[in-house]
Structure 1
Amino acid sequence: MKGSGGIDSEVVMPYAQALMSSAKSQNITEEIGTDVRDLLRLLQDSDQLQNFVANPFVKEQDKKRVLEQVIGDRVHPYLRNFLRILVDRRRIILLEGICQQYLNLLRQLNQTVLAEVTSTVELSRNQRQAIKDKVKAMTSAREVELDMKIDSELIAGAIVKVGSQVIDASLRGQLRRLSLSLTSGS
Structure 2
Amino acid sequence: MSSSSVDSSKPEFEGSVSGLSGRYASALFELMQEAPDTDQKDISNSMDVLSGLFGVDQSFGDMLVSPVISVEDKENSLVKIFSKASIGQTVTNFAVLVVKNRRSFLLQDICRAFKALEAKARGEMTAHVTTASKLSEQHENKLKQQLKNKFGQDISVIAEVDQTLLAGMIVRVGSRMIDDSLRTKLFTLKQAMNEAG
Cα distance, 1:142 vs. partner?
4.5
Measured after TM superposition, the shift of residue 98 of structure 1 is 0.6
Matches within 5 A, 1:7-86: 9-26=18-35, 27=37, 28-72=39-83, 74-86=86-98
**Identity percentage of aligned residues:** 22
Name the CA distance, whole Å, in 2 between partners of 1:94 and 1:81: 15
How far apart in 2 are the matches of 1:38 and 1:80? 11
Residue 100 of structure 1: how far off its partner (Å): 0.8
CA shift, 1:128, in A, is 6.3
Residues 110 and 143 in structure 1, CA contact (< 8 A), matched pair in contact too:
no
Q: CA RMSD in A?
A: 3.9
Q: Counterpart in 2 of 1:93?
A: 105
Gap runs ≥5 in structure 2: 1-13, 181-197
Q: Classify 1:140/1:30 alpha carbon distance in 2 versus 1 (closer, same or farther; 3 Å).
A: farther
Give the Cα–Cα distance (whole angstroms) in 1 for the partners of residues 71 and 130 of structure 2. Answer: 38
Report the number of matched residues.
Answer: 160
Aligned partner of 2:120 in structure 1 is 108
Q: Which has the larger radius of gyration?
A: 1
Structure 1 length-normalised TM:
0.64
Q: Deviations over 1:22-45 (max 9, x none)?
A: 111114444323222221221233
| TM-score, scaled to structure 2 | 0.61
Q: Is the 8 A contact 1:29 1:106 kept in 2?
A: no
Q: Distance in 2 between matches of 1:117 and 1:42?
A: 14
Deviation at 1:72, TM superposition (A): 0.6
